[in-house]
Structure 1
Amino acid sequence: MTAARALPAPHAPTLDLGGRTALVTGAAGGIGRACVLRLAAAGAKVRAVDRDAAGLEELVDAARDLAGAVEPHVLDLTDLDAAELAAAGTDVLVNNAGLQLVRPIEEFPPDVFHTVLTVMLEAPFRLVRGALPHMYGQGWGRIVNISSVHGLRASAFKSAYVAAKHGLEGLSKTAALEGAPHGVTSNCVNPAYVRTPLVEKQLVDQARAHGIPEERVLTEVLLQDSAVKRLIEPAEVADAVAYLCGPHASFVTGTSLVLDGGWTAH
């Protein structure tokens, strides 16, 4: 009996974004920061958009030795006209910026609901609108929307966030259908709870909303529905974004890449 012939090792495609321009919102921290560094490491020139000027400057310092370049762009995404203009000439668009408030609907401030929908749904629409002419013109583009498990499932006390993420899912699918004939893909990345300041700030609000001590929130609320009992690291989300930007993902569009530790398997 002859020995089985060894199969060649699988080829892992390398992401090369040299010559490409990417834009990442919410870039100064958390998932956004990790995405900027990942895309810049792949050679992209990254427009890092955030209203935190100091955080952007720190990000530029952190990216100095990477293959690509990071350009800080201080911008409040409630300025929708400026957001659309900022996306002009973009090859890769990562809609990441978000905010959160945990309150029952009857106590949820209407002005905060409006702001959440503006930043997390209307601004992505305007950014996509600003980016598409260039993408269509060159026959290539990648839109990656950082959604959430809350784009697929609801949680109590998060009416604005859940509504915005569900809307983002629909926007992403529509962009995928319209962009397909032009070589443009549009997808969502849907993490569960990520180790970011946004999640850490929820602990007090969640404790009050659920009537439990703050130290019990992580295990009894945030990770209750996850089979994998840990927070996701921002770099793991950035790697998922990078996958969707690569040539090997050219047939992946109009879908949601779920990183939820088994949450939606229930």
Structure 2
Amino acid sequence: MDVSIPTRPGPQSSALRTLAGKTAVVTGSTSGIGLGIAEVLAAQGADVLLNGFGDPAEIDRVRTALSGTHGVRVSYSAADMSKPDEIDGMIAQATRDLGGVDILVNNAGIQHTAPVREFPMERWNAIIAINLTAAFCATRAVLPGMEGKGWGRIINIASAHGLVASPHKAAYVAAKHGVLGLTKVVALETARTGVTCNAICPGWVLTPLVQKQIDDIAMREGLSGDDARAKLLGEKQPSLEFATPDQIGALAAFLCSDAAAQIRGAALPVDGGWTAQ
């Protein structure tokens, strides 16, 4: 699905447009954390290419709303992040539609839980492909353009599970640890350029998928919604508060700022104290 984009409308947001003239690709951005990041970047003036799966009518509604609200161009690619050729095509589309890629946010991810001895090989391969290999492929595709312009921001959405582990999440934990390793290598290779590469490591973030987990706990254990939230958070997150997609987006926007120019190769937790334990 390659959606044509409108000409740039007049800005309607009062946010400081510190990213005006920049373009951003955010993978896995049709909902949840990715959409929250895309919203914040658009509010700061960046043109955005959305990516992900979902109902085409709803995706077009989101695209049109982002464009109209923030006065930016918004494109969409349905590229499958498990397919390197489609990732290359997505970056080519961003160049065609928006004039290049200044900001890459590698956010797309999937999850599966099972003990190692029972973990299906096909799920391992899919998680590594989408959560790790896709970040490598997209980074490889955008680096020449960023280095040619002398400016770029690569932001990898890792996880608290990039820093610590939990049982039954072998593929996810391995992939997210790998994302942090990739982040450090890219940061070192670009250290004397205007390109930076960093990772954000969220803990529990209140997204529609997490809300579904809360609802499932409440139904399964006969708990109220508040008690189910507390149970989910209490297992890992000392603050007993969820992070929000807007907060992750705000940190991504900061990493795009001049103030963050010497933050390179960092893994920044947004996890309510999870990894401080």
TM over 0.5: yes
Q: 2:8 maps to which residue?
A: none
Change in 2 beyond 3 A, CA 1:258/1:39: same
CA distance in 1, matches of 2:147, 2:89: 16
**Residues 139-169 of structure 1: CA deviation (Å, up to 9, x unaligned):** 1100000111111010111111111110000
2:111 paired with 1:100: yes
From 74, 81, 84, the counterpart of 1:77? 81
Q: 2:204 maps to which residue?
A: 193
Shift of residue 106 of structure 1? 2.0
**Residues 177-230 of structure 1: CA deviation (Å, up to 9, x unaligned):** 1112221100001111111133345558989xxxx8384764344432322102
Which structure 1 residue ranges, 5 or more long, are not aligned? 1-13
> Identity across aligned pairs (percent)?
40
SS of the residue 1:47 aligns to: strand
Q: 1:176 maps to which residue?
A: 187
CA distance in 2, matches of 1:206, 1:108: 23
Whichever residue aligns with residue 71 of structure 1, its letter is S
Whichever residue aligns with residue 38 of structure 2, its letter is V
Task: Report the structure number with the largest CA radius of gyration.
Answer: 1
Q: 1:213 maps to which residue?
A: 221
From 22, 43, 54, the counterpart of 2:24? 22
Q: What is the correspondence of 1:26-65 to structure 2 with a 5 Å cutoff? A: 26-52=28-54, 53-63=56-66, 64-65=68-69
CA distance in 2, matches of 1:206, 1:119: 27
Q: Is the 8 A contact 1:85 1:130 kept in 2?
A: no
CA distance in 1, matches of 2:120, 2:210: 20
Runs of 4+ residues deviating >6 angstroms: 204-207
Q: 2:148 maps to which residue?
A: 137
Change in 2 beyond 3 A, CA 1:175/1:214: farther
2:234 paired with 1:250: no
CA distance in 2, matches of 1:200, 1:99: 16
TM-score for the superposition, normalised by structure 2 = 0.84
Whichever residue aligns with residue 170 of structure 2, its letter is S
Whichever residue aligns with residue 51 of structure 1, its letter is F
CA distance in 1, matches of 2:147, 2:250: 25
Say which is worse superposed, 236-245 or 69-78, in terms of deviation: 69-78
CA distance in 2, matches of 1:198, 1:164: 20
TM-score for the superposition, normalised by structure 1 = 0.87
Say which is worse superposed, 146-155 or 57-66, in terms of deviation: 57-66
CA distance in 2, matches of 1:255, 1:217: 33
SS of the residue 1:181 aligns to: coil
Shift of residue 27 of structure 1? 0.7
